[in-house]
Amino acid sequence: MPYVSNTDEDRARMLGELGLKSIEELFSDIPADLRPSSFNLPPGLSELEVRRFTQTLADKNATDLICFLGGGFYDHFIPAALDTIISRSEFYTAYTPYQPEISQGTLQAIYEYQSAVCHLTDMDAANASLYDGGTALYEAMMMAVRITKRRKVIVDEGVSPIYRKMLHCYTGNLALEFVEIPVARNGRADRQAIETQLDKNTSCLILQNPNFFGCVDDITDMAESAQKSGSLVILSTYPISLGILKTPGEMQVDIATGEGQSLGLGLSFGGPYLGFMAVRSQYIRQMPGRIVGETTDKNGQRGFVLTLQTREQHIRREKATSNICSNEALCALSAIVYLSLIGKEGLKEVTELCSAKADYTLKRLLEIPGVKMRFPVPIFNEFTLELPRDAGDIIGQLIEKGIMAGFPLGRYYKNMEKCMLIAVTEKRTKEEIGMLAEALEAVL
Amino acid sequence: MKLIFEKSVAGRRGVRLPRCDVPIERDKLKGLKRKELPDLPEVSELDTVRHFTELSRHNFGVDTGFYPLGSCTMKYNPKIGEEAVRYQGFSRLHPLLPQLRQGGILTQGALQVIYETERFLSEITGMAEFTMQPLAGAHGELTGIMLIAAYHKSRGIKKTKVIIPDSAHGTNPASAAIAGYEVVSVPSDKNGVMDFSEFRKVIDEKVAAVMLTCPNTLGLFNPDIKKIADRTHQAGGLMYYDGANLNAILGKCRPGDVGFDVVHLNLHKTFGTPHGGGGPGAGPVGVKEHLREFLPISLVVKRPDGTYALEYNRPKSIGYVAPFYGNFGVILKCYVYILLLGREGLIRAAENAVLNANYMMEKLKSYYHLPYDRRCMHEFVLSANKQKKHGVKALDIAKRLLDFSFHPPTIYFPLIVEEAMMIEPAETESGETLDKFIEVMIQIAKEAEQEPQTIKDAPHNLDICRLDEVKAAREPNLKYVRVA
């Protein structure tokens, strides 16, 4: 039998040494009335059959659509060397590095990843990863509730609606007060409305930059207001954009989070992805999840270990800062490998390409009669258009022409049925942008 | 080893990007830009590949050697799963595509994978339906407890407590607590399972759920499990099954048949997906019929015409626990695994996992203290108490095993066993490998008596000695800072 090494003879020998006659005797603790009422599964297949079948399934999915779809999940270039590295089974068949002496590979890579996240965000410390951008935001919110001992949470509606739904889901059984504030007319966070809501019960203000509509902002003023009221400021970010945009650290953010998919991870139908979190130094001991630190062995040689573990569930149990155990270590490895291959200048180039191509796309699309820019503020690589009719219908028509043109904002926002969110990465060419413009013009 | 940052040379480049084929407008983001470029490595592609290849050589995986890490089910991961996730039809698929008009039809293969995996898991565990969304085991626990909370809430009953035995994984109490419950810990009895008389003292109408791992972290199946389930249900509580140890009972017992209402599984344990150095995993959650309406948004459904679709209209759902449909890549590997093994293969896996564990336990119990000397399932827990008399602790034994190229067992867990060493061989290992490990463990037991210092100074054969964890925690150095 594949994937089980013992032959029938081995089994018989081992059972004999245990003084048993049949395998069933090993399961004698399971009472007869608790045996399965059914276990109806297909017989096993050969590897060749499984390969053929899964290839058929893969081929049923579209792979040739030109992608202008973003919404927090982007079609970025992934260098070939990345897969070579993360395919090393010394990395991917290991588990959590509990035994540092034989896990220096994972541990050092995570330390390097933490360093890169800190440098990208300009924050003091990062953890070893969380599941995704949404759960990272939830963990940040819970940190703020713990630190401030306050129960009100203010969330700007420019934060991903998917993440906001997640925040609601996780807090359904907790007595938290949620205040969600619609964006201002220009698409950015509504300063005045936020100012009115900030009070001595507010644990945190949650913002996103660029926000879900693609609007870029400098949130320093709101951070100052929030901190004046004793609240923490949490910013959800798009790591590629941090190659060019003002950083969470520069804007006085307390906790920066984000989705790391854009750092070398495939879209992969929604996961595995990578949640990251970086904080100011005073909050390090309130962080959730694994953290890797540098230390030395008895000869003074540098090495790395999991550290500050007294925050964690395996030690602190119900008093832990989070329940997280397995995280997304291999995805964190992908991120640091990506950032190494792309490098300091390369990341700047990626951001320039994204930004220039988005500008160009916007310019081309605005030439089409009836197409308008929804918000008059600077963008990075994603923007919101207002179309003459229902955006969902138009997107459906463009899919038939082989283009994923964008995301219909009416799905999550009232009165935005005619609005479409378009993302442009470094992978899109002038030609593809031209095809989008022509196709859109043709269906309007 | 040098850090990748320390190998950086100003101006050195890795991968080249395409020339920009559209005009660049330089100051559109004026006032919104960062002051300096982030300090990222400036290295060549070769530097990067060499650096990480070198790091991988300082790592230990299942492919490197025997990894009997208790409660983690470090079985071999079939490589065809790695291949399948790299098919472009999966790896490049945008998760928002099926949410667009005309998009569902272009994602049928991926939706089928999720749907059929869900059906398989429901049959394997005897549950009505699974959500495939939870992204790891602990995430599944939190989802499961939130489902239980939603269930009680919908019936207008206020419950405040979750009962958990003291042998439980740390994630259990942590998950219950962050979902808003008070945790009540119940001690284990002399047979190593939850003490039934102590349990009866704390079970009441305030108990939302009893969270159990079965077989538990001592590797023991609780023969009274049905009695616990019945008593809990009588009090209006629900039964939560932590599926971390499901590998032991595949085809031998289904949590659903026992009376569990909610189950989470760790696909990276039982279903052969690799552990990734600490993730990604996946922690799907299965429920009985009465909890189905609360499952997260969305679910994959099969239409009468045989096509697959996402169902979003779920008014009683707890909402979104993940942004999309779960860790799809991990779900796909699990699907491939179940297809490969099939019914007989899964049963055979459980049988050999249990056989391997019992064989090792039998061979080692005269050398190490076995606190619960009875039939085990997929794992067993030894204590280094005997060796401690010679000054040798479980930690020392773990480090000594490194000298023989074995990954040590889980140590100091479960907390109820002093100097615990929790050993889970997994079914994929051969008798010869087990015999080698047993031989080394016996040698270490002898060394503990004759030359304990050899163990206390271990490891001897690696290029790094024991690391100072106290220093790491006292003076946290969590990132590289460039020295000017």
Mutate to test the interface with B, among A93, A171, A252, A412 (most CBs of B within 10 A): A93
H helix intervals, B94-224: 108-125, 137-154, 171-178, 196-202
Q: Do B109 and B209 fall into the same domain?
A: yes
pLDDT at position B266: 98
Q: Please work out, in degrees rounded to the nearest 5, the angle formed at the alpha carbon of residue A380 by the alpha carbons of A377 and A381.
A: 120
Q: Do B436 and B288 fall into the same domain?
A: no
C-alpha dihedral (A237, B313, B209, A275), degrees to nearest 10: -10
B157 near A CB under 8 A: no
Residue type, A4: V
pLDDT at B484 over 80: no
Chain mean pLDDT for chain A: 97
Q: Do B377 and B418 fall into the same domain?
A: yes
Q: What are phi and psi of B165, to 5 degrees?
A: -70, 155
Give the span between the Cα atoms of A87 and B56, in whole angstroms. 10
Q: Do B153 and B206 fall into the same domain?
A: yes
Looking at B313, B339, B365, the residue that finishes a domain is: B339
Give the span between the Cα atoms of A176 and A174, in whole angstroms. 6
Q: CA nearest A131: which of B57, B281, B343, B30?
A: B281
Dump pLDDT digits (tens) for B86-133.
999 999 999 999 999 999 999 999 999 999 999 999 999 999 999 999
Contact B33, A245 (CB under 8 A): yes
Contact A150, A202 (CB under 8 A): yes
Domain count along chain B:
2
Show the 3-state SS of B310-355.
EECCCCCCCCCCCCCCCCHHHHHHHHHHHHHHHHHHHHHHHHHHHH
Q: Do B193 and B329 fall into the same domain?
A: yes
Q: Are domains A66-76+344-443 and A80-337 of this chain identical in fold?
A: no
H helix intervals, A199-267: 220-228
Indicate whether B405 belongs to any domain: yes
Considering chain A, what percentage of its residues have pLDDT values greater than 70?
Answer: 100
Dump pLDDT digits (tens) for B257-283.
999 999 999 999 999 999 999 999 999
Q: Which fold has domain A66-76+344-443?
A: Aspartate Aminotransferase, domain 1 (3.90.1150)
Residue ranges with strand state E in B166-235: 182-186, 207-213
Q: Which fold has domain A80-337?
A: Aspartate Aminotransferase; domain 2 (3.40.640)
Collapsing DSSP to helix, strand or coil, A161 comes out as helix
Q: Do B225 and B287 fall into the same domain?
A: yes
CATH assignment at residue B456: 3.90.1150.10
Indicate whether B31 belongs to any domain: no
Q: Do A295 and B176 touch (CB under 8 A)?
A: no
B93 near A CB under 8 A: yes
pLDDT at A172 over 90: no
Residues B10-33 have a mean pLDDT of: 93
Considering only the C-alpha atoms of chain B, give the largest distance between any 2 of them, rounded to a whole number of Å: 77
Q: What is the nearest CA distance from B52 to chain A, expressed in angstroms? A: 7
B42-66 burial, b at 16+ Cβ within 10 Å, e below that, comes to bbbbebbbebbeebbebbbbbbbeb
Q: Do B465 and A298 touch (CB under 8 A)?
A: yes
Indicate whether B29 belongs to any domain: no
The H or E element containing residue B470 is helix B469-474
pLDDT at position B306: 97
Expressed as residue numbers, the domain containing B222 is: 82-339
Residues B435-461 have a mean pLDDT of: 97
Considering chain A, what percentage of its residues have pLDDT values greater than 90?
Answer: 96
Chain mean pLDDT for chain B: 97
Q: Do B210 and B321 fall into the same domain?
A: yes
Indicate whether B22 belongs to any domain: no
DSSP conformation class of B61 = -
Q: Do A298 and B52 touch (CB under 8 A)?
A: no
Q: Do A81 and B15 touch (CB under 8 A)?
A: yes
- Separation of first and last alpha carbons in chain B: 20
pLDDT at A1 over 80: no
Q: Do B319 and B364 fall into the same domain?
A: no
Indicate whether B194 belongs to any domain: yes
**Separation in Å, CA A114 to CA A125, A251, B280:** 7, 20, 17
Contact B32, B64 (CB under 8 A): no
Q: Do B89 and B133 fall into the same domain?
A: yes
Q: What is the nearest CA distance from B25 to chain A, expressed in angstroms? A: 7
Q: Do B257 and B293 fall into the same domain?
A: yes
Q: Do B335 and B408 fall into the same domain?
A: no
Contact A444, B132 (CB under 8 A): no
Residue type, B409: P
Q: Do B42 and A99 touch (CB under 8 A)?
A: no
pLDDT at position A63: 86
Q: Which residues contact B151 (CB under 8 A, 6 or more apart)?
A: B238, B290, B291, B294
Residues of A in contact with B275 (CB under 8 A): 92-96, 326
Contact B423, B378 (CB under 8 A): no
Indicate whether B148 belongs to any domain: yes
Dump pLDDT digits (tens) for B322-355.
999 999 999 999 999 999 999 999 999 999 999 9
Give the span between the Cα atoms of B75 and B62, in whole angstroms. 7
Q: Do B321 and A170 touch (CB under 8 A)?
A: yes
**Separation in Å, CA B126 to CA A38, A287, A341, B120, B301:** 8, 38, 47, 10, 19
Q: What are phi and psi of A423, to 5 degrees?
A: -115, 140
Q: Do B139 and A75 touch (CB under 8 A)?
A: no
Looking at B294, B315, B339, the residue that finishes a domain is: B339
Mutate to test the interface with A, among B27, B106, B116, B467 (most CBs of A within 10 A): B467
Looking at B339, B361, B383, the residue that finishes a domain is: B339
Banded pLDDT at B13 (limits 50, 70, 90): very high
Dump pLDDT digits (tens) for B231-248.
999 999 999 999 999 999
Q: Which residues contact A185 (CB under 8 A, 6 or more apart)?
A: none
The two structure tokens encoding residue A17: 């040494």
Q: How many CB pairs under 8 A join A and B?
A: 705
Domain ranges of chain A: 66-76+344-443, 80-337
Q: Do B179 and B306 fall into the same domain?
A: yes
Residues of A in contact with B402 (CB under 8 A): 99, 101-102
pLDDT at position B27: 78
Taking CA atoms, what residue in A is nearest to B338? Answer: A44
DSSP conformation class of A125 = E
For chain A, what percentages of helix, strand and coil (3-state, to nearest 5) are there?
Answer: 45, 15, 40
**Separation in Å, CA B483 to CA B12, B35, B39, B475:** 19, 19, 12, 18
